[in-house]
Amino acid sequence: MKALVVYESMYGNTHHVATAIGEGLGSGFEVTVVPVERVEPDMLETLDLLVVGGPTHGHGMSRASTRHAAVDAAQKPSSDLIVEPDAEGPGLREWFDDVGRISARGAAFDTRVDMSPVLTGRASKGIAKKLRHAGATLVVEPESFLVTKDNHLEDGEAERAHTWGARLALETSKPPGLPNRA
């Protein structure tokens, strides 16, 4: 079975989570982990599972303006943030506008500051909605992985992402239509 993990990442946290999810999926899938800017249309043709994730910006999925603001924040002299190589390209929002029909099962995740989602929002909710709209059947509820206010993954989040990936592999191995634990 084939899985594709597509991510958008500004400072590396979402990239790190995507990689851990891909490793967790490796128990049951041939996995490719790729930044959104590098997704080729043929990568979506023979998938069993599409996992999509991005950072939470302004209570939801990033926009061009929030990505530019994140790059600007990293360029301040007092900043220790390092911008990912693909960060300034198109994001998930733009990718979904062009993606077309998705016939695979799907799952959505985000990274967000470790505060109440009422205050931060959750990009994974918008990603899940876009996946369903494109035709994917979600196998689990959207998931958030937490970062500190200093923009580092919280302790244990990479391991939790790996475990979540393994859970996705298990849930996706069930025939369509069986209830999941989400």
Q: What is the rounded distance in angstroms from the CA atom of residue 81 to the CA atom of residue 87?
A: 12
Q: Give the pLDDT of residue 176.
A: 59
Q: Is 181 among the domain residues? A: no
Q: Give the pLDDT of residue 180.
A: 47
Q: Is 180 among the domain residues? A: no
Q: Give the pLDDT of residue 177.
A: 55
What is the SS3 string spanning the chain? CEEEEEECCCCCHHHHHHHHHHHHHCCCCEEEEEEHHHCCHHHHCCCCEEEEEEECECEECCCHHHHHHHHHHHCCCCCCCCCCCCCCCCCHHHHHHHCCCCCCEEEEEEEEECCCHHHHECHHHHHHHHHHHHCCEECCCCEEEEECCCCCECCCHHHHHHHHHHHHHHHHHCCCCCCCCC
The pTM of the full predicted model, rounded to 2 decimals, is: 0.92
Residue 32's contacts (CB-CB under 8 Å, 6 or more residues apart) are 2, 3, 4, 5, 22, 43
Q: Is 125 among the domain residues? A: yes
What angle do helix axes 157-173 and 13-25 make, rounded to 10 degrees?
40
Q: Is 81 among the domain residues? A: yes
Per the structure, the complete domain to which residue 132 belongs is given by 2-173
CATH code of 62's domain: 3.40.50.360
Q: Is 33 among the domain residues? A: yes
pLDDT of the chain, 182 residues: tens digit per residue: 999 999 999 999 999 999 999 999 998 899 999 999 999 989 998 899 999 999 999 889 998 888 888 888 888 888 888 889 888 888 999 999 999 899 999 999 999 999 999 999 999 999 999 999 999 999 999 999 999 988 899 999 999 999 999 999 998 887 655 454 44
Q: Is 49 among the domain residues? A: yes
Q: Give the pLDDT of residue 81.
A: 86
- Count of structural domains within the chain: 1
